[in-house]
């Protein structure tokens, strides 16, 4: 029986953001944008969706005169990411076994 | 990158790729290796020359002077780096903790050695070797691992030598174990900045 994939994570940009942040303490908006090569507008929308789901914590502050957005994965985000990876792996293992038969 | 749905294979490929980006991020610029490398080498050589000239009483003052130059410089650099840093990986946090632990242990090791009137150089070298080795493993940067091996070897050699000559071995070990990896890290960080 396949586990249903989390639709929130099964999107290229949101999954890229979560995969990037999972190995980090925190990262700034500019860094995430550079590494994902996303547009600022699209990235803002996707980060907000992840925040609304409780997967990300977004902190807004200032560095000097300029606004600064910092993102961090929450415990719920780590759990959801782990479940997503497990589901993808189990799907690939089952399809590999079916292919070998 | 867009907001499109992914196949299972694409998902796994993307996860691996992005995690690799985070893992390979080295925020160490080599500055501290260069700073402390130059200061320690200079202090060793000045101390050696003072001992050669028979100024034994004044020779040990080079070490507090070196520390008084090094600590504020390192702190100012870290403060300024923190203000312009775009991200911090989990490795960076562990790396920082390793060197903070090293600093505290080093201070105590020197205090204990001086109190017991024992030469601290072999202890300093083994401590530096441990912190440098862990740093090399965390960032998967082989020159630091090799630098740690140089420190371990130098510590073993120092035990067989009189105090004055240990200063020269220490200076040589620091040149190989700190300055070379420091220069390579510095060069890499400059390259990264210009991408």
Residue B37 and residue B174 in contact, taking contact as beta carbons nearer than 8 Å: yes
- Interchain pair A15, B14: CB under 8 A: yes
Sheet arrangement for strand A24-28: A56-63, A66-73, A24-28, B87-89
**Beta-carbon count within 10 A of B194 CB:** 5
Q: Which residues of B touch A16 (CB under 8 A)?
A: 1, 14, 18
- The answer for residues whose C-beta is within 8 angstroms of residue B33's C-beta and 6 or more apart is B178, B179, B181, B182, B185
Give the per-residue pLDDT at A33. Answer: 92
Nearest CA in chain B to A24: B89
Dihedrals phi, psi of A3, to nearest 5 degrees: -80, 145
Q: Which of B8, B10, B14 sits opposite A91 (nearest CB)?
A: B8
Tokens standing for B136?
A: 């090399």
* pLDDT (tens digit per residue) in A40-99: 999 999 999 999 999 999 999 887 788 889 999 999 999 999 999 988 888 888 877 777
Chain A nearest C-alpha distance from B82 (Å): 11
Give the per-residue pLDDT at B76. Answer: 92
- Interchain pair B14, A46: CB under 8 A: no
Give the per-residue pLDDT at B153. Answer: 96
Task: Give per-10-residue mean pLDDT for chain B (195 aa).
Answer: 76 82 71 94 93 82 91 90 72 86 94 89 94 90 95 95 90 95 88 50
Q: B45: left (phi > 0), else alpha (psi -120 to 50), else beta?
A: alpha
* pLDDT (tens digit per residue) in B4-60: 777 888 888 888 888 777 766 666 788 999 999 999 999 999 999 999 888 877 778
Residue A17 and residue A47 in contact, taking contact as beta carbons nearer than 8 Å: yes
Residue B5 near chain A (CB below 8 Å): yes
Count chain A–chain B contacts defined by CB atoms under 8 A: 93
Nearest CA in chain A to B23: A23
Chain A nearest C-alpha distance from B19 (Å): 5
Complex ipTM: 0.76
Q: Over A11-52, what HEC string results?
A: EHHHHHHHHHHHCEEEEEHHHHHHHHCCCHHHHHHHHHHHHH
- Interchain pair A27, B86: CB under 8 A: yes
Residue B4 and residue B11 in contact, taking contact as beta carbons nearer than 8 Å: no
**Longest pairwise C-alpha distance within chain B:** 77
- The answer for residues whose C-beta is within 8 angstroms of residue B142's C-beta and 6 or more apart is B136
Give the per-residue pLDDT at A89. Answer: 85
Residue A26 near chain B (CB below 8 Å): yes
């Amino acid at each position: 029986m396949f586990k249903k994939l989390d639709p929130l994570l099964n999107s290229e940009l949101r999954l890229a953001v979560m995969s990037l942040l999972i190995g980090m303490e925190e990262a700034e908006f500019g860094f995430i944008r550079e590494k994902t090569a996303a547009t600022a507008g699209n990235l803002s929308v996707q980060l907000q969706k992840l925040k609304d789901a409780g997967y990300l914590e977004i902190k807004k502050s200032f560095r000097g005169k300029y606004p600064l957005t910092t993102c961090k994965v929450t415990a719920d985000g780590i759990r959801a990411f782990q479940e997503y990876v497990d589901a993808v792996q189990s799907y690939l293992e089952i399809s590999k076994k079916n292919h070998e038969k | 990158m867009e907001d499109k749905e992914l196949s299972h294979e694409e998902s796994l490929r993307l996860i691996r790729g992005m995690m690799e980006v985070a893992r390979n991020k080295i925020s160490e610029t080599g500055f501290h290796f260069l700073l402390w490398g130059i200061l320690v080498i200079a202090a060793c050589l000045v101390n050696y020359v003072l001992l050669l000239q028979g100024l034994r009483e004044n020779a040990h003052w080079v070490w507090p002077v070196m520390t008084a130059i090094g600590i504020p410089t390192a702190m100012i650099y870290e403060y300024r780096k923190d203000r312009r840093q775009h991200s911090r990986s989990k490795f960076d946090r562990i790396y920082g903790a390793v060197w903070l632990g090293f600093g505290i242990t080093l201070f105590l090791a020197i205090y204990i050695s001086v109190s017991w009137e024992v030469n601290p150089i072999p202890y300093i070298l083994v401590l530096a070797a441990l912190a440098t080795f862990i740093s090399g493993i965390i960032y998967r940067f082989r020159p630091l691992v090799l630098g740690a091996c140089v420190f371990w070897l130098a510590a073993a050699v120092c035990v067989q030598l009189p105090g004055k000559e240990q200063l020269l071995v220490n200076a040589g070990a620091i040149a190989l174990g700190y300055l070379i990896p420091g220069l390579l890290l510095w060069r890499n960080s400059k390259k990264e900045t210009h991408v």
